[in-house]
């Protein structure tokens, strides 16, 4: 009995700590993030109400088409709390994803959010991988939505004739993005060639060559 009570108390304590650290449940109507302050446990401190302006809650950062003239032929414009502080503590954000014909949003992970996307223009192949390596993918046209579970590797490639445009929504104000290739091969300081060579079962020279593509 004694141990049962102890267990219940422990569970209550754990759940309280969990709520304190991870809850996305704001204690106020809004908390326009003060971008000059460092992020605290789960967001930015609130700007004083008297300093809050209309611009804090409206954001035109996704109006402009991204520049896809790069090696991948894609560009992601982020509308997260760091750009749009009205999102602070609301647990949501959006990205604009422009992809040139043949362009690729390379395999990446959002460590802090699931993603729901909507195809506004073009034809894209969207795919993600489960932890046990099952590959789920589908060709999507205008109007289709997709769901990428939190933390899983995913990508999008424009397989249409024209440009593609996707709007993605996240259940985090700052989902984070880990691009698998550049994370491993473009790290600073660099991961030793022998580690990458062994991990990918290739010669060290191959690992070094791929690193060269991601340096700088």
Cβ at position 64, least distance to ligand NAG in Å: 10
Cβ at position 96, least distance to ligand NAG in Å: 15
- Chain residues in the site for ligand NAG (CB under 6 A): 67, 69
Distance CA 153, CA 151 (A): 7
Nearer to ligand NAG, 65 or 194 (CB): 65
Cβ contacts of 19 within 8 Å, gap of 6 or more? 25
Residue nearest to ligand NAG (CB): 67
Nearer to ligand NAG, 66 or 79 (CB): 66
Nearer to ligand NAG, 62 or 206 (CB): 62
Distance CA 44, CA 166 (A): 28
Distance CA 133, CA 31 (A): 40
Nearer to ligand NAG, 46 or 99 (CB): 99
CB 106 within 8 A of CB 158: no
Cβ at position 118, least distance to ligand NAG in Å: 25
Cβ at position 49, least distance to ligand NAG in Å: 38
3-state helix, strand, coil in the chain (%, to 5): 25, 30, 45
């Amino acid at each position: 009995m004694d141990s049962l009570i102890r267990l219940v108390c422990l569970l209550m304590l754990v759940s309280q700590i969990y709520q304190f650290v991870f809850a996305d449940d704001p204690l106020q109507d809004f908390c326009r993030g003060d971008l000059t302050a460092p992020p605290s446990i789960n967001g930015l401190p609130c700007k004083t109400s008297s300093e809050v302006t209309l611009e804090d809650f409206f954001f035109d950062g996704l109006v402009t088409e991204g520049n896809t003239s790069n090696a991948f032929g894609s560009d992601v414009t982020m509308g997260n709390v760091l750009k749009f502080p009205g999102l602070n503590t609301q647990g949501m954000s959006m990205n604009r994803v422009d992809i040139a014909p043949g362009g690729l949003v390379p395999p990446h992970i959002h460590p802090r959010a699931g993603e729901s996307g909507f195809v506004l223009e073009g034809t894209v192949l969207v795919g993600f991988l489960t932890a046990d390596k099952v590959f789920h993918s589908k060709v999507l046209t205008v109007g289709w939505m997709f769901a990428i579970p939190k933390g899983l590797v995913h990508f999008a490639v424009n397989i249409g004739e024209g440009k593609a445009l996707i709007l993605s929504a996240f259940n985090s104000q700052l989902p984070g993005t880990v691009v698998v290739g550049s994370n491993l091969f473009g790290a600073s300081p660099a991961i030793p060639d022998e580690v990458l060579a062994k991990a990918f079962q290739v010669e060290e020279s191959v690992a070094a060559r791929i690193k060269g593509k991601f340096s700088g």
